[in-house]
């Protein structure tokens, strides 16, 4: 059993040492809780659990604390993929939901498994999800002052359970101040992908991740026989060719954990039951 989570990027230029420490502490607490949960639950259930904890922490740009778009509203996206069943489910630009990843979870049982905008909102309401404001004072202040230093705050989790099953989940509040209708990578296979060989969750600039098909490329290359490291090396070399900004976390079927970012510093933590690693 192994697990790795990410919480976007940290920039020394626009965030304080106090915020950095707070994020490190939060990731430690969340990954330890999630690993304990993994002991008695599947990889799929665990990645949803971990991402929901990240969504609930306003330090991260997903769920509570999501970025505000150009029209002053918050729209969020999230997705889930089970490596064994090969089912991908997600919501795009959903509003006023505390945990978008939970909506993605129940969508996996539907024939239509990716919903966007009003359709996603209506589906969540029909399934009993309560209306919830994810706006925080900090995000409102950023919006009002038109600060443009967001866009790299997606959260995600990849896990392998005791039976060797892999799963990945990703959630985002967007990049902030985006054009209404913009779709991020988080609810696409470019940003969140898994099969029986490997599972990957990405963060960074969604347009770059989609252009590079980052998560799907890494998983496909591992499936075709490359090591996890070589799959990352090749995919991130291609990302560099388009001056892409991204980070990714992954676990392969042998339990190897890997993470990489195109620029410092991706916020992440990994745990295998004995060794805990947290970004510095």
- Rounded Cα–Cα distance for residues 185 and 165 (Å): 24
Q: Do 219 and 228 contact (CB within 8 A), yes or no?
A: no
- Rounded Cα–Cα distance for residues 186 and 35 (Å): 23
Domain 2-278 = CATH 3.40.50.300: no
Adjacent-strand bridge partners of 278:
269
Catalytic residue among 154, 170, 172, 203: 154
Adjacent-strand bridge partners of 124:
none
- Active site includes 64? no
Q: What is the pLDDT of residues 19-57, one digit of tens each?
A: 999 999 999 999 999 999 999 999 999 999 999 999 999
Residue written as token pair 């902030």? 176
* Confidence class for position 15, pLDDT limits 50, 70, 90: confident
Q: What is the pLDDT of residues 227-280, one digit of tens each?
A: 999 999 999 999 999 999 999 999 999 999 999 999 899 999 999 999 999 999
Q: Do 236 and 245 contact (CB within 8 A), yes or no?
A: no
H-type helices in 58-116, by residue range?
100-107
């Amino acid at each position: 059993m192994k697990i790795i989570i990410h919480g976007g990027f940290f920039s020394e230029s626009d965030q304080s040492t106090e915020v950095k420490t707070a994020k490190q502490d939060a990731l430690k607490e969340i990954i330890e809780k999630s690993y304990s949960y993994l002991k008695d639950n599947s990889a799929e259930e665990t990645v949803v659990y971990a991402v929901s904890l990240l969504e609930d922490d306003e330090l991260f740009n997903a769920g509570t604390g999501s970025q505000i778009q150009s029209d002053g509203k918050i729209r969020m996206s999230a997705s889930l993929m089970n490596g064994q069943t090969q089912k991908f489910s997600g919501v795009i630009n959903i509003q006023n939901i505390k945990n978008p990843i939970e909506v993605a979870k129940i969508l996996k049982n539907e024939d239509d498994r990716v919903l966007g905008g009003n359709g996603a909102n209506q589906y969540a309401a029909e399934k009993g999800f309560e209306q919830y404001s994810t706006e925080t004072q900090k995000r409102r202040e950023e919006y009002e002052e038109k600060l443009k230093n967001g866009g790299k705050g997606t959260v995600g989790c990849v896990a392998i359970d005791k039976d060797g099953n892999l799963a990945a989940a990703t959630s985002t509040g967007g990049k902030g101040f985006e054009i209404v209708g913009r779709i991020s990578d988080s609810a696409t296979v470019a940003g969140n992908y898994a099969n029986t060989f490997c599972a990957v969750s990405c963060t960074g600039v969604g347009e770059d991740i989609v252009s590079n098909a980052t998560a799907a490329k890494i998983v496909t290359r591992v499936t075709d026989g490359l090591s996890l490291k070589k799959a990352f090396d090749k995919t991130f070399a291609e990302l560099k060719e388009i001056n892409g900004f991204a980070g990714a976390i992954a676990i392969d079927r042998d339990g190897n954990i890997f993470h990489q970012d195109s620029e410092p510093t991706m916020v992440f933590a990994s745990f295998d039951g004995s060794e805990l690693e947290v970004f510095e």
